[in-house]
Structure 1
Amino acid sequence: MNVPTAPAAPAAAPSSASVWRSQLGTYLGLLAVLAGMVALFSSLSEYFWSAETFITIANEIPALAVMAVGMTFVLIIAGIDLSVGSVMALAAATSAAAILQWGWTVPAAAALALATGLVCGTITGTISVAWRLPSFIVSLGMLEAVRGSAYVVTDSRTQYVGDAISWLSAPFFGGISFAFLLAVVLVVVAQLVLSRTVFGRCVVGIGTNEEAMRLAGVDPRPIRVIVFAMTGLLAGLAGLMQSARLEAADPNAGTGMELQVIAAVVIGGTSLMGGRGSVVNTAFGVLIIAVLEAGLAQVGASEPSKRIITGFVIVAAVIVDTLRQRRAKV
């Protein structure tokens, strides 16, 4: 006689302790890479290990950091936004035009820059969602359209705004700019949103299995639009930061910067396939990119050499991440 057997017990979900250990391991790994790069460049250049170098790096990364925060959310939903560099340039251009040509106050011009980024991101997200088009193609078209708009607004010339918004990049504490402190606050807030809110869980769920989220009663379309809109808003803020640091709005600013942004996010371990990412890890990726560029510049590496080395670092980061995912599935 066949004796019925008890159903197999479901696989236990990973405990919070194991998840925390995994995250801690990732943090420590990125920190080790960063420390190793600092040690390497300090041994190769007598000028690298100095307060001036680290303050300079800190004051140069805010624009990259805030755009990388937005890109982290975009990649987690399995999207991509190639227009962030152009949106940054257009936001800076519109704020400069508002101050120099239209006589607007600085707060009003700053609000216009943020609104410009928000509108651009919303358009990208809406078109991608409404017509079910790959965000790669939509954002590529936006990259060209927005860059052309920046040329039109500035009449293809650099607009010098002087010290109108220089307070954003001026030394605030120990030589560190207010823009850097603002970028740190945004990283912390974005990480909390991603890991501690319903919206953040929906973002991860959409990137992991969009159909499952839909069957669970969550409409992924507005969330996707919000993520792209937020990324555009942060690109607008980056435009203000860049304009404040340079005291000018250059229509060519941010050319190719979208690749740096994506590289920083990927180095931080965010999956290009969606469903996994961390804003704190992205911040480490931004620091790694910044230290790498500063170190190569100090040791006298040529521009082609810097691009080659940076490219290999990005590929290595993707390979390591892929191997880690395969190991986790075993």
Structure 2
Amino acid sequence: MNAASPASSSAAASQPPSALKGQLGTYLGLTVVLLGMIALFGSMSEYFLTRDTFISIANEIPALAVMAVGMTFVLIIAGIDLSVGSVLALSAAVTAAAILQWQLPVPVAAMLGLATGLVCGTVTGAVSVAWRLPSFIVSLGMLEAVRGGAYLVTDSRTQYVGDAISGLAAPWIGGISAAFVLAVVLVAVGQLVLTRTVFGRHVVGIGTNEEAMRLAGIDPRPIRIIVFAVTGLLAGLAGLMQSARLEAADPNAGVGIELQVIAAVVIGGTSLMGGRGSVINTFFGVLIIAVLEAGLAQVGASEPSKRIITGAVIVVAVIIDTLRQRRAERRLA
């Protein structure tokens, strides 16, 4: 096993020119789509191509971006986590309760919120691994259970924390919040972990062929649990970011956001079948979702219309992913 590990690691680290060309093509394609959407909405609304619009978009996406980083790893191992929106709400609720009811210092309260997300993610991963259950089912159950926990902690009422943790959302550099800078840093770290570490190669290997990983002497179970645990931790961080921006913890926060997270990851090219993905591309997907929502709002699209268009974008992204997968299979055949 030890003799095979360096070889497999170096093979995974050195990507063939075709793979690099494919990555560059994906980057270029996503960039063209993003710029095309900006140009389209800029032509439809005279207020879209303004500094205020882009600062607003940047300050609204940190929570979505950090959750999408974790979801990228989950999809790469051929899993899914539908509970991230509820975990966001519960983590924010615990933080607010720690500040308002338990009178704990803000740093301690924030750590409790992050720990809540970590525990939720760990439970989801451990249950799905221990009983070999589909993560879809386990996370669906966690979605309901954790949402109920958020209602209990907040007594089903919005908890106003004021400016206790508003520093995360406060303007920092040119109006950009610290939360956005932190989200960009986490995207960069996530990409480095995925592409430059042994853990990242194991994540890709599990999504590509889990049985082959077992035969190579690598136990995929702890890796799966770690991926879900980190995803829960990032959802907890997203809860802090959203509470900082709204200065409140709402038990209804994050309802449906898991669909936006998955949409951003899939639009970024991460395969729903597992084994392929990029955190940088996921960030492009987050930007595309954010620009789409901001543009539709500025041109006066109704809420039902926005949901229909966003859903259509998700379906198109899945179709493109399926066609790409079939083309790759034909090429290998």
TM interval, short-chain normalised: over 0.9
Q: AA paired with 2:190? A: A
Corresponding residue for residue 277 of structure 1? 277
How far, CA to CA, are the matches of 2:147 and 2:26 in structure 1? 37
Name the CA shift for 1:300/1:123 in 2 (closer, same or farther; >3 Å). same
2:128 maps to 1:128? yes
Structure-to-structure mapping, 1:27-66, within 5 angstroms: 27-66=27-66
Corresponding residue for residue 183 of structure 1? 183
Structure-to-structure mapping, 1:1-330, within 5 angstroms: 16-328=16-328, 329-330=330-331
Aligned-pair Cα RMSD in Å: 1.2
How far, CA to CA, are the matches of 1:39 and 1:324 in structure 2? 27
Corresponding residue for residue 6 of structure 2? none
Q: The residue matched to 1:300 in structure 2 has which SS? A: coil
How far, CA to CA, are the matches of 2:136 and 2:320 in structure 1? 24
How far, CA to CA, are the matches of 2:22 and 2:41 in structure 1? 29
Q: The residue matched to 1:22 in structure 2 has which SS? A: helix
TM-score (norm 1): 0.95
**CA drift at 1:19:** 1.8
How far, CA to CA, are the matches of 2:96 and 2:70 in structure 1? 24
Q: AA paired with 1:45? A: S
From the CA coordinates, give the structure whose radius of gyration is larger. 1
How far, CA to CA, are the matches of 1:15 and 1:159 in structure 2? 50
How far, CA to CA, are the matches of 2:147 and 2:325 in structure 1? 37
**CA drift at 1:325:** 2.6
How far, CA to CA, are the matches of 1:274 and 1:125 in structure 2? 16
How far, CA to CA, are the matches of 1:324 and 1:225 in structure 2? 29
**CA drift at 1:17:** 2.5
Unaligned runs of 5+ in 1: 1-11
Name the CA shift for 1:214/1:160 in 2 (closer, same or farther; >3 Å). same
Corresponding residue pairs, total = 319
How far, CA to CA, are the matches of 1:19 and 1:135 in structure 2? 29
Q: The residue matched to 2:80 in structure 1 has which SS? A: coil
**CA drift at 1:75:** 0.4
Q: AA paired with 1:273? A: M
Name the CA shift for 1:15/1:280 in 2 (closer, same or farther; >3 Å). closer
How far, CA to CA, are the matches of 2:319 and 2:39 in structure 1? 24
TM-score (norm 2): 0.94
Percent identical among aligned pairs is 82
How far, CA to CA, are the matches of 1:325 and 1:165 in structure 2? 44
**CA drift at 1:15:** 5.2
Q: AA paired with 2:90? A: L
